[in-house]
Amino acid sequence: MNKTLLIATTNQGKVREISEELKDIDLEIKTLKDYPEILPPEETGNTFFENALLKAKYYAEKTGLLTLADDSGLEVEALDGKPGIYSSRFAGEMASDEENIKKLLELMKDIPEHKREAQFICVMVCYHPSGKYIYSEGIWEGKIAQSPRGDRGFGYDPVFLVKELNYQKTAAELEMEIKNKLSHRGKALKALKEKLPEFLKTL
């Protein structure tokens, strides 16, 4: 039987990436663009998992649909894991990517090369209105650059030096296809896809 999956985002880049990865699974895809009347919940969780679960549960209960939500952010070792769940609002509630990057580089200006390790984390939750859910996590390791480079991607991409490329390129210098293969979101998505067929059988 064909099931519907709500991807709880309005970001068309994420929608494309997720639908492409899940295309072999028999699911009709909907997004929050199909439900403009539903206001977003407050992200009050203390962890990426709590926020992803809170969002998936909220939209599943509002729409009655199986719902996939994610939460992600950057953790910097030398800053005790900051900005973490506050990544998008690091420099203030309505901060731009540029302002967040500026604050990060300012805080790290005296931190030497070998202590600039960081990781992107992504947690995905797929939640059914019955209360059953599965989740997955993806991690992408790197280092924080001294200054921004590259004009692709979003968020902290211009200052994230990619470990797989020997820290020679930032995430903002990668083709989207390559970023999707390496990234925290890509890894979480693959892990979720592996669990999904079994989960769908239990619903």
Q: Which residues bind ligand IMP (CB under 6 A)?
A: 71-74, 87-88, 100, 120, 153-157, 171, 183
Q: Could you say which of 26, 34, 71, 97 is catalytic? A: 71
Q: Which is nearer to ligand IMP, 28 or 98 (CB)?
A: 98
Nearest residue to ligand IMP, by Cβ distance, number only: 155
Burial 110-141 (b: 16+ CB within 10 A, else e): eeeeeebebbbbbbbbbbbbeeebbbbbbebe
Q: Which is nearer to ligand IMP, 3 or 33 (CB)?
A: 33
Strand-strand pairing, 3-7 and 66-76? parallel
Contact predicate 164/182, CB 8 Å: yes
Q: Which is nearer to ligand IMP, 31 or 200 (CB)?
A: 31
Place of tokens 């509002």: 62
Q: Which is nearer to ligand IMP, 18 or 200 (CB)?
A: 18
| Least Cβ distance, residue 16 to ligand IMP (angstroms) | 14
Q: Active site includes 26?
A: no
Please tell me the distance from the alpha carbon of residue 65 to that of residue 51, in angstroms, as a whole number. Answer: 18
Q: What separation in angstroms does the CA of 13 have from each of 16, 43, 137, 181, 185?
A: 5, 21, 19, 14, 12
How far is C-alpha 164 from the geometric centre of its chain's CA atoms?
19
Please tell me the distance from the alpha carbon of residue 192 to that of residue 48, in angstroms, as a whole number. Answer: 16
| Least Cβ distance, residue 126 to ligand IMP (angstroms) | 16
| Least Cβ distance, residue 198 to ligand IMP (angstroms) | 26
| Least Cβ distance, residue 81 to ligand IMP (angstroms) | 13
Contact predicate 179/171, CB 8 Å: yes
Residues involved in catalysis = 71
